[in-house]
Structure 1
Amino acid sequence: MWKKFKKDIAPYFLYFIVKFIYFTNKKVYHHPAHDDKEPFIVCMWHGDLISQIYNYFGFRKNGVVKAMVSENRDGETITKLAAMFKIWAIRGSSSKGAAKVMLSALKELKLGNDVAISPDGPRGPRHSIADGIVIIAQKSGKKIVCFNTIPTRYWQFNSWDKFVLPKPFGKIDFYISEPFSVDGMELEEAKALIKEKMLVHTMK
Protein backbone atom coordinates (compact mmCIF):
# COMPACT_ATOMS: atom_id res chain seq x y z
CA MET A 1 0.00 0.00 0.00
CA TRP A 2 2.81 2.42 0.95
CA LYS A 3 4.73 1.62 -2.25
CA LYS A 4 1.61 2.31 -4.33
CA PHE A 5 1.06 5.62 -2.51
CA LYS A 6 4.65 6.77 -3.13
CA LYS A 7 4.52 5.77 -6.77
CA ASP A 8 1.01 6.77 -7.86
CA ILE A 9 -0.40 9.28 -5.35
CA ALA A 10 2.50 11.05 -3.63
CA PRO A 11 3.66 12.97 -6.75
CA TYR A 12 0.22 14.60 -7.17
CA PHE A 13 -0.01 15.35 -3.46
CA LEU A 14 3.45 16.93 -3.47
CA TYR A 15 2.69 18.89 -6.63
CA PHE A 16 -0.17 20.81 -5.03
CA ILE A 17 1.82 21.39 -1.82
CA VAL A 18 4.76 22.79 -3.80
CA LYS A 19 2.47 25.00 -5.93
CA PHE A 20 0.82 26.43 -2.80
CA ILE A 21 4.11 27.06 -1.01
CA TYR A 22 5.71 28.91 -3.91
CA PHE A 23 2.54 30.80 -4.79
CA THR A 24 2.42 32.30 -1.29
CA ASN A 25 6.12 33.24 -1.14
CA LYS A 26 7.64 36.47 -2.44
CA LYS A 27 10.23 35.48 -5.04
CA VAL A 28 13.38 37.57 -5.53
CA TYR A 29 15.63 36.53 -8.42
CA HIS A 30 19.37 37.21 -8.43
CA HIS A 31 20.12 36.08 -11.97
CA PRO A 32 22.79 36.91 -14.57
CA ALA A 33 21.91 40.04 -16.53
CA HIS A 34 22.17 38.26 -19.88
CA ASP A 35 21.28 34.81 -21.21
CA ASP A 36 23.39 33.70 -24.17
CA LYS A 37 20.95 30.83 -24.82
CA GLU A 38 23.80 28.33 -24.80
CA PRO A 39 22.94 24.99 -23.12
CA PHE A 40 24.49 24.69 -19.69
CA ILE A 41 24.82 22.26 -16.79
CA VAL A 42 22.71 23.14 -13.76
CA CYS A 43 24.53 22.33 -10.51
CA MET A 44 22.27 22.12 -7.44
CA TRP A 45 22.48 20.51 -4.03
CA HIS A 46 20.31 17.47 -3.36
CA GLY A 47 18.78 19.17 -0.33
CA ASP A 48 17.68 22.15 -2.42
CA LEU A 49 16.11 20.37 -5.40
CA ILE A 50 12.50 21.53 -5.26
CA SER A 51 13.24 25.27 -5.30
CA GLN A 52 15.34 24.98 -8.43
CA ILE A 53 12.22 24.35 -10.52
CA TYR A 54 11.19 27.96 -9.94
CA ASN A 55 14.77 29.18 -10.14
CA TYR A 56 15.29 27.63 -13.58
CA PHE A 57 12.05 28.78 -15.18
CA GLY A 58 12.52 32.22 -13.64
CA PHE A 59 15.64 32.47 -15.81
CA ARG A 60 14.64 30.46 -18.88
CA LYS A 61 10.87 30.66 -19.14
CA ASN A 62 10.70 28.39 -22.18
CA GLY A 63 13.84 26.38 -21.48
CA VAL A 64 14.14 22.61 -21.76
CA VAL A 65 16.01 20.93 -18.91
CA LYS A 66 16.64 17.24 -18.31
CA ALA A 67 17.42 16.28 -14.71
CA MET A 68 19.61 13.32 -13.79
CA VAL A 69 17.52 11.25 -11.37
CA SER A 70 18.49 8.11 -9.46
CA GLU A 71 17.15 4.71 -10.53
CA ASN A 72 15.89 3.95 -7.01
CA ARG A 73 12.24 4.00 -5.90
CA ASP A 74 12.42 7.56 -4.59
CA GLY A 75 13.64 8.51 -8.04
CA GLU A 76 10.32 7.36 -9.50
CA THR A 77 8.43 9.78 -7.26
CA ILE A 78 10.82 12.62 -8.13
CA THR A 79 10.55 11.82 -11.85
CA LYS A 80 6.75 12.01 -11.82
CA LEU A 81 6.72 15.18 -9.73
CA ALA A 82 9.30 16.88 -11.96
CA ALA A 83 7.36 15.95 -15.10
CA MET A 84 4.35 17.87 -13.77
CA PHE A 85 6.56 20.96 -13.84
CA LYS A 86 7.82 20.10 -17.36
CA ILE A 87 11.22 18.92 -16.19
CA TRP A 88 12.14 15.60 -17.77
CA ALA A 89 14.37 12.92 -16.30
CA ILE A 90 17.54 11.13 -17.29
CA ARG A 91 17.44 8.02 -15.10
CA GLY A 92 20.62 6.56 -13.66
CA SER A 93 23.38 7.07 -11.09
CA SER A 94 27.07 6.50 -10.46
CA SER A 95 26.31 3.02 -9.13
CA LYS A 96 23.62 1.97 -11.63
CA GLY A 97 23.51 2.80 -15.31
CA ALA A 98 26.41 5.25 -15.05
CA ALA A 99 27.61 4.92 -18.65
CA LYS A 100 24.08 5.14 -20.04
CA VAL A 101 23.18 8.25 -18.06
CA MET A 102 26.46 9.93 -18.98
CA LEU A 103 25.85 9.36 -22.69
CA SER A 104 22.26 10.55 -22.36
CA ALA A 105 23.38 13.76 -20.65
CA LEU A 106 25.95 14.46 -23.35
CA LYS A 107 23.32 13.82 -26.05
CA GLU A 108 20.88 16.27 -24.46
CA LEU A 109 23.51 19.00 -24.25
CA LYS A 110 24.43 18.41 -27.89
CA LEU A 111 20.76 18.77 -28.81
CA GLY A 112 20.72 22.17 -27.09
CA ASN A 113 18.93 21.16 -23.89
CA ASP A 114 20.13 21.98 -20.39
CA VAL A 115 21.07 19.19 -17.97
CA ALA A 116 20.58 19.38 -14.20
CA ILE A 117 22.79 17.48 -11.75
CA SER A 118 22.95 17.28 -7.95
CA PRO A 119 26.63 16.36 -7.47
CA ASP A 120 26.12 15.24 -3.85
CA GLY A 121 23.19 12.92 -4.66
CA PRO A 122 21.69 10.45 -4.33
CA ARG A 123 23.58 9.30 -1.22
CA GLY A 124 25.97 12.08 -0.24
CA PRO A 125 27.99 13.09 1.62
CA ARG A 126 26.14 16.39 1.78
CA HIS A 127 27.74 19.18 -0.26
CA SER A 128 30.26 16.84 -1.88
CA ILE A 129 31.10 17.01 -5.58
CA ALA A 130 31.09 13.72 -7.46
CA ASP A 131 33.20 13.17 -10.57
CA GLY A 132 30.25 12.99 -12.97
CA ILE A 133 29.55 16.70 -13.31
CA VAL A 134 33.19 17.41 -14.17
CA ILE A 135 33.34 14.61 -16.74
CA ILE A 136 30.13 15.73 -18.43
CA ALA A 137 31.24 19.37 -18.51
CA GLN A 138 34.65 18.55 -19.96
CA LYS A 139 33.42 16.03 -22.53
CA SER A 140 30.61 18.32 -23.71
CA GLY A 141 32.58 21.55 -23.51
CA LYS A 142 29.57 23.19 -21.83
CA LYS A 143 29.67 25.57 -18.90
CA ILE A 144 28.36 24.95 -15.37
CA VAL A 145 25.90 27.24 -13.62
CA CYS A 146 25.33 27.07 -9.84
CA PHE A 147 21.73 27.22 -8.62
CA ASN A 148 20.91 28.03 -4.97
CA THR A 149 17.96 29.33 -2.98
CA ILE A 150 17.62 30.84 0.48
CA PRO A 151 14.11 31.04 2.02
CA THR A 152 13.36 33.22 5.05
CA ARG A 153 10.99 30.61 6.50
CA TYR A 154 11.54 26.89 6.06
CA TRP A 155 11.48 23.38 7.40
CA GLN A 156 14.79 21.53 7.40
CA PHE A 157 14.53 17.75 7.56
CA ASN A 158 16.81 15.49 9.56
CA SER A 159 17.99 13.63 6.46
CA TRP A 160 21.54 13.20 5.19
CA ASP A 161 21.07 16.13 2.78
CA LYS A 162 19.29 18.36 5.36
CA PHE A 163 16.48 18.77 2.84
CA VAL A 164 14.95 22.26 2.90
CA LEU A 165 11.28 22.95 2.17
CA PRO A 166 10.18 26.61 2.33
CA LYS A 167 7.22 27.48 4.51
CA PRO A 168 4.32 29.47 3.04
CA PHE A 169 4.11 33.26 3.28
CA GLY A 170 7.81 34.08 3.39
CA LYS A 171 10.41 35.26 0.90
CA ILE A 172 12.73 33.18 -1.25
CA ASP A 173 15.92 34.51 -2.80
CA PHE A 174 16.88 32.64 -5.98
CA TYR A 175 20.53 32.69 -7.03
CA ILE A 176 22.14 31.69 -10.32
CA SER A 177 25.87 32.11 -10.87
CA GLU A 178 27.53 33.30 -14.05
CA PRO A 179 28.39 30.31 -16.28
CA PHE A 180 31.93 29.01 -15.79
CA SER A 181 34.12 26.42 -17.49
CA VAL A 182 36.24 23.61 -16.05
CA ASP A 183 37.91 22.76 -19.35
CA GLY A 184 41.57 21.84 -19.02
CA MET A 185 41.42 21.43 -15.24
CA GLU A 186 42.51 18.39 -13.27
CA LEU A 187 39.59 16.50 -11.70
CA GLU A 188 40.19 17.60 -8.10
CA GLU A 189 40.88 21.19 -9.13
CA ALA A 190 37.59 21.32 -11.04
CA LYS A 191 35.64 19.79 -8.16
CA ALA A 192 37.12 22.31 -5.73
CA LEU A 193 36.10 25.20 -8.00
CA ILE A 194 32.54 23.91 -8.35
CA LYS A 195 32.19 23.48 -4.59
CA GLU A 196 33.61 26.94 -3.92
CA LYS A 197 31.07 28.54 -6.24
CA MET A 198 28.19 26.41 -4.92
CA LEU A 199 28.89 27.36 -1.30
CA VAL A 200 28.58 31.11 -1.93
CA HIS A 201 24.80 31.00 -1.44
CA THR A 202 24.39 27.69 0.37
CA MET A 203 22.37 27.32 3.57
CA LYS A 204 24.10 25.61 6.48
Structure 2
Amino acid sequence: MRLSKRILKSDMGQRLLSHLAAFYVRLVAWTTRWQIETGPVDRLVEEGEAAIGAFWHGRLLMSHLGWKAEQPRIHMMISRHRDGALIARTIGHLGFSTVDADSKTGGLNALRAMKRCLDAGDWVAITPDGPRGPRMRAKAGTIKLAQLTGAPVVPASVAMSRRRILNSWDRFQLALPFGRGIIRCGEPIRVPRDADADTLERARQALEDALNGLTGELDRRCGVPVVEPAPQAMPETDTPATDSPTAPAARSA
Protein backbone atom coordinates (compact mmCIF):
# COMPACT_ATOMS: atom_id res chain seq x y z
CA MET A 1 0.00 0.00 0.00
CA ARG A 2 2.78 2.45 0.94
CA LEU A 3 4.69 1.58 -2.24
CA SER A 4 1.62 2.17 -4.41
CA LYS A 5 1.03 5.55 -2.75
CA ARG A 6 4.65 6.56 -3.34
CA ILE A 7 4.35 5.59 -7.00
CA LEU A 8 1.11 7.53 -7.37
CA LYS A 9 2.65 10.62 -5.75
CA SER A 10 5.77 10.53 -7.94
CA ASP A 11 5.90 12.52 -11.16
CA MET A 12 7.09 9.50 -13.13
CA GLY A 13 4.35 7.30 -11.68
CA GLN A 14 1.67 9.84 -12.55
CA ARG A 15 3.01 10.18 -16.09
CA LEU A 16 2.91 6.43 -16.62
CA LEU A 17 -0.52 5.97 -15.07
CA SER A 18 -2.01 8.89 -17.01
CA HIS A 19 -0.77 7.44 -20.32
CA LEU A 20 -2.22 4.04 -19.40
CA ALA A 21 -5.52 5.62 -18.34
CA ALA A 22 -5.76 7.61 -21.59
CA PHE A 23 -5.07 4.46 -23.60
CA TYR A 24 -7.82 2.63 -21.71
CA VAL A 25 -10.30 5.45 -22.30
CA ARG A 26 -9.56 5.34 -26.04
CA LEU A 27 -9.94 1.54 -26.03
CA VAL A 28 -13.38 1.78 -24.43
CA ALA A 29 -14.37 4.59 -26.80
CA TRP A 30 -13.36 2.57 -29.88
CA THR A 31 -15.07 -0.66 -28.80
CA THR A 32 -18.36 0.80 -27.55
CA ARG A 33 -21.53 1.37 -29.61
CA TRP A 34 -22.48 4.95 -28.82
CA GLN A 35 -25.68 6.95 -28.82
CA ILE A 36 -24.82 10.65 -28.55
CA GLU A 37 -27.81 12.87 -27.80
CA THR A 38 -26.44 16.40 -27.42
CA GLY A 39 -29.04 18.51 -29.22
CA PRO A 40 -29.08 21.32 -26.60
CA VAL A 41 -25.29 21.67 -26.86
CA ASP A 42 -25.40 21.70 -30.65
CA ARG A 43 -28.00 24.49 -30.62
CA LEU A 44 -26.00 26.66 -28.22
CA VAL A 45 -22.83 26.16 -30.27
CA GLU A 46 -24.72 27.06 -33.45
CA GLU A 47 -25.95 30.25 -31.78
CA GLY A 48 -22.41 31.09 -30.63
CA GLU A 49 -23.29 31.03 -26.92
CA ALA A 50 -20.73 29.81 -24.39
CA ALA A 51 -22.10 27.62 -21.60
CA ILE A 52 -21.28 25.55 -18.53
CA GLY A 53 -21.41 21.76 -18.86
CA ALA A 54 -22.31 19.92 -15.65
CA PHE A 55 -22.15 16.20 -14.87
CA TRP A 56 -21.71 14.14 -11.73
CA HIS A 57 -18.21 13.25 -10.56
CA GLY A 58 -18.99 9.55 -10.83
CA ARG A 59 -19.79 9.95 -14.55
CA LEU A 60 -16.60 11.80 -15.44
CA LEU A 61 -15.11 8.90 -17.42
CA MET A 62 -16.17 8.95 -21.10
CA SER A 63 -18.14 12.19 -20.73
CA HIS A 64 -15.71 13.96 -23.08
CA LEU A 65 -17.10 11.98 -26.01
CA GLY A 66 -20.15 14.23 -25.99
CA TRP A 67 -17.96 17.08 -27.23
CA LYS A 68 -17.08 17.35 -30.91
CA ALA A 69 -13.63 18.32 -32.12
CA GLU A 70 -14.97 21.20 -34.24
CA GLN A 71 -16.86 22.75 -31.31
CA PRO A 72 -15.40 25.58 -29.18
CA ARG A 73 -12.67 24.98 -26.65
CA ILE A 74 -13.89 23.54 -23.35
CA HIS A 75 -12.02 23.65 -20.03
CA MET A 76 -12.56 21.19 -17.20
CA MET A 77 -12.23 22.16 -13.57
CA ILE A 78 -10.09 19.70 -11.61
CA SER A 79 -9.48 19.81 -7.86
CA ARG A 80 -5.95 20.19 -6.55
CA HIS A 81 -5.22 16.83 -4.94
CA ARG A 82 -3.37 13.66 -5.92
CA ASP A 83 -6.28 12.08 -7.79
CA GLY A 84 -7.09 15.41 -9.43
CA ALA A 85 -3.54 15.75 -10.74
CA LEU A 86 -3.76 12.28 -12.30
CA ILE A 87 -7.12 13.13 -13.88
CA ALA A 88 -5.72 16.39 -15.24
CA ARG A 89 -2.78 14.60 -16.87
CA THR A 90 -5.10 11.98 -18.36
CA ILE A 91 -7.45 14.63 -19.73
CA GLY A 92 -4.45 16.40 -21.23
CA HIS A 93 -3.49 13.26 -23.17
CA LEU A 94 -7.05 13.19 -24.55
CA GLY A 95 -6.69 16.73 -25.89
CA PHE A 96 -8.48 18.72 -23.20
CA SER A 97 -7.35 21.56 -20.94
CA THR A 98 -8.04 21.96 -17.23
CA VAL A 99 -8.59 24.70 -14.68
CA ASP A 100 -7.08 24.09 -11.25
CA ALA A 101 -9.54 24.33 -8.36
CA ASP A 102 -7.97 24.96 -4.97
CA SER A 103 -10.55 24.16 -2.28
CA LYS A 104 -8.47 26.10 0.28
CA THR A 105 -9.55 29.34 -1.40
CA GLY A 106 -13.16 28.21 -1.66
CA GLY A 107 -12.77 27.80 -5.39
CA LEU A 108 -12.67 31.59 -5.95
CA ASN A 109 -9.58 31.49 -8.16
CA ALA A 110 -11.13 28.71 -10.24
CA LEU A 111 -14.38 30.66 -10.60
CA ARG A 112 -12.45 33.69 -11.82
CA ALA A 113 -10.48 31.56 -14.28
CA MET A 114 -13.64 29.95 -15.61
CA LYS A 115 -15.32 33.34 -15.96
CA ARG A 116 -12.39 34.43 -18.14
CA CYS A 117 -12.85 31.30 -20.27
CA LEU A 118 -16.57 31.99 -20.73
CA ASP A 119 -15.96 35.67 -21.45
CA ALA A 120 -13.58 34.55 -24.22
CA GLY A 121 -16.33 32.43 -25.79
CA ASP A 122 -15.03 29.07 -24.55
CA TRP A 123 -17.08 26.49 -22.63
CA VAL A 124 -16.32 25.11 -19.18
CA ALA A 125 -17.29 21.87 -17.44
CA ILE A 126 -17.87 21.23 -13.74
CA THR A 127 -18.80 18.32 -11.51
CA PRO A 128 -21.29 19.96 -9.09
CA ASP A 129 -20.86 17.25 -6.44
CA GLY A 130 -17.05 17.29 -6.51
CA PRO A 131 -14.49 16.95 -5.24
CA ARG A 132 -15.68 15.07 -2.14
CA GLY A 133 -19.45 14.81 -2.34
CA PRO A 134 -22.01 14.12 -1.11
CA ARG A 135 -22.70 12.00 -4.16
CA MET A 136 -25.09 13.41 -6.75
CA ARG A 137 -25.96 16.45 -4.64
CA ALA A 138 -25.28 19.77 -6.37
CA LYS A 139 -23.32 22.39 -4.50
CA ALA A 140 -23.87 26.08 -5.16
CA GLY A 141 -20.71 26.87 -7.16
CA THR A 142 -22.02 25.95 -10.60
CA ILE A 143 -25.10 28.13 -10.15
CA LYS A 144 -22.98 30.99 -8.78
CA LEU A 145 -20.81 30.82 -11.89
CA ALA A 146 -23.91 30.89 -14.10
CA GLN A 147 -25.20 33.95 -12.22
CA LEU A 148 -21.83 35.70 -12.42
CA THR A 149 -21.39 35.15 -16.16
CA GLY A 150 -24.91 34.86 -17.54
CA ALA A 151 -23.90 31.56 -19.17
CA PRO A 152 -26.50 28.75 -19.17
CA VAL A 153 -25.80 25.45 -17.41
CA VAL A 154 -26.23 22.31 -19.53
CA PRO A 155 -26.77 19.10 -17.48
CA ALA A 156 -25.30 15.95 -19.01
CA SER A 157 -24.71 12.31 -18.12
CA VAL A 158 -23.30 9.08 -19.52
CA ALA A 159 -24.22 5.45 -18.87
CA MET A 160 -22.69 2.17 -20.01
CA SER A 161 -24.20 -1.27 -20.43
CA ARG A 162 -20.86 -2.82 -19.41
CA ARG A 163 -19.37 -1.19 -16.36
CA ARG A 164 -18.14 -1.62 -12.83
CA ILE A 165 -19.38 0.70 -10.08
CA LEU A 166 -16.53 1.36 -7.67
CA ASN A 167 -17.04 1.54 -3.92
CA SER A 168 -15.96 5.19 -3.80
CA TRP A 169 -17.87 8.17 -2.42
CA ASP A 170 -19.11 9.04 -5.94
CA ARG A 171 -19.87 5.42 -6.98
CA PHE A 172 -17.54 5.97 -9.91
CA GLN A 173 -18.65 4.32 -13.15
CA LEU A 174 -15.68 2.43 -14.61
CA ALA A 175 -16.63 1.82 -18.23
CA LEU A 176 -15.74 -1.57 -19.74
CA PRO A 177 -15.10 -2.30 -23.43
CA PHE A 178 -17.45 -3.93 -25.95
CA GLY A 179 -20.74 -2.60 -24.63
CA ARG A 180 -23.25 0.13 -25.39
CA GLY A 181 -22.97 3.70 -24.16
CA ILE A 182 -25.34 6.66 -24.11
CA ILE A 183 -24.43 10.31 -23.61
CA ARG A 184 -27.30 12.74 -23.26
CA CYS A 185 -27.64 16.45 -22.48
CA GLY A 186 -30.64 18.16 -20.91
CA GLU A 187 -32.10 21.58 -21.60
CA PRO A 188 -30.06 24.61 -20.45
CA ILE A 189 -30.74 26.12 -17.04
CA ARG A 190 -30.43 29.92 -16.95
CA VAL A 191 -29.76 31.99 -13.84
CA PRO A 192 -30.55 35.74 -13.80
CA ARG A 193 -27.64 37.96 -12.80
CA ASP A 194 -29.88 39.65 -10.21
CA ALA A 195 -31.18 36.35 -8.76
CA ASP A 196 -31.92 36.41 -5.04
CA ALA A 197 -31.12 33.58 -2.62
CA ASP A 198 -34.42 31.77 -3.22
CA THR A 199 -33.97 31.89 -7.00
CA LEU A 200 -30.42 30.58 -6.70
CA GLU A 201 -31.60 27.69 -4.53
CA ARG A 202 -34.35 26.81 -7.00
CA ALA A 203 -31.79 26.80 -9.81
CA ARG A 204 -29.43 24.61 -7.77
CA GLN A 205 -32.25 22.14 -7.07
CA ALA A 206 -33.30 22.20 -10.74
CA LEU A 207 -29.74 21.29 -11.75
CA GLU A 208 -29.57 18.46 -9.20
CA ASP A 209 -32.95 17.10 -10.29
CA ALA A 210 -32.03 17.32 -13.98
CA LEU A 211 -28.73 15.48 -13.47
CA ASN A 212 -30.32 12.75 -11.36
CA GLY A 213 -33.17 12.39 -13.82
CA LEU A 214 -30.77 12.05 -16.76
CA THR A 215 -28.50 9.61 -14.94
CA GLY A 216 -31.38 7.37 -13.86
CA GLU A 217 -32.92 7.44 -17.34
CA LEU A 218 -29.66 6.46 -19.04
CA ASP A 219 -28.93 3.68 -16.53
CA ARG A 220 -32.37 2.21 -17.21
CA ARG A 221 -31.91 2.49 -20.97
CA CYS A 222 -28.61 0.62 -20.67
CA GLY A 223 -30.27 -2.10 -18.59
CA VAL A 224 -28.12 -1.56 -15.50
CA PRO A 225 -29.06 -0.76 -11.88
CA VAL A 226 -29.67 2.93 -11.20
CA VAL A 227 -27.05 4.58 -8.98
CA GLU A 228 -28.90 6.56 -6.32
CA PRO A 229 -27.83 9.89 -4.77
CA ALA A 230 -26.45 10.08 -1.25
CA PRO A 231 -29.10 10.75 1.43
CA GLN A 232 -30.15 14.37 1.70
CA ALA A 233 -28.17 16.30 4.28
CA MET A 234 -30.08 18.09 7.01
CA PRO A 235 -30.38 21.79 6.13
CA GLU A 236 -28.00 24.11 7.95
CA THR A 237 -29.59 27.14 9.54
CA ASP A 238 -26.60 29.43 10.06
CA THR A 239 -24.05 28.56 7.40
CA PRO A 240 -24.75 29.16 3.70
CA ALA A 241 -24.04 26.37 1.23
CA THR A 242 -20.62 26.57 -0.38
CA ASP A 243 -19.06 24.85 -3.30
CA SER A 244 -15.66 23.24 -3.58
CA PRO A 245 -15.49 22.87 -7.34
CA THR A 246 -13.74 19.95 -8.89
CA ALA A 247 -12.92 18.89 -12.13
CA PRO A 248 -13.70 19.74 -15.47
CA ALA A 249 -13.17 21.24 -18.69
CA ALA A 250 -11.50 20.64 -21.77
CA ARG A 251 -10.57 20.95 -25.29
CA SER A 252 -11.15 18.46 -28.01
CA ALA A 253 -8.15 17.59 -30.07
TM over 0.5: yes
SS state at 2:104 partner? coil
Supply the distance in 2 between the matched residues of 1:61 and 1:134 (Cα, whole angstroms). Answer: 27
Match of 1:199 in 2: 212
Distance in 2, matches of 1:92 and 1:27, equals 31
Percent identity of the aligned residues?
26
Q: 1:42 to 1:27 in 2, by over 3 A?
A: same
Q: Which of the residues 38, 60, 67 maps onto 1:49?
A: 60
Give TM-score scaled by structure 2 length: 0.75
Q: 1:15 is matched with which residue: 22, 26, 43? A: 22
Q: Report which stretch shifted further, 98-107 or 175-184.
A: 175-184
The separation in 2 between residues aligned to 1:41 and 1:75, in whole angstroms, is: 20
The C-alpha deviation readout for 1:60-82, integer Å capped at 9, x for no partner, is: 63331111110111111111111
Q: CA deviation at 1:91?
A: 0.3
CA distance in 2 between partners of 1:22 and 1:103 (Å): 33
Name the TM-score, length of structure 1 as normaliser: 0.93
> Is the 1:6–1:77 Cα contact (8 Å) retained in structure 2?
no
Cα deviation, residue 97, structure 1: 5.8
Of residues 156, 174, 178, the one that matches 2:187 is 178
Does 1:69 find its partner at 2:78?
yes
Q: How many residues align?
A: 202
Looking at structure 1, the residues matched to 116 and 146 of structure 2 have their Cα atoms a distance apart, in angstroms, of 12
Alpha-carbon spacing, 1:111–1:131, altered in 2? closer, same or farther (3 Å)? same
Greater C-alpha radius of gyration:
2
- 1:13 maps to a residue whose letter is L
Deviation of 1:37 after TM superposition, in Å, equals 2.9
Structure 2 unpaired stretches of 5+: 1-5, 217-226, 228-253
Q: Give the alignment's Cα RMSD to 1 decimal.
A: 1.6
- Unpaired segments of 5 or more residues in structure 1? none
Q: After superposition, give the CA deviation of every residue in 1:11-46 in whole Å (9 maximum; x if it has no partner).
A: 001011110011000011112163423110000100
Q: Give the Å deviation of 1:6.
A: 4.3
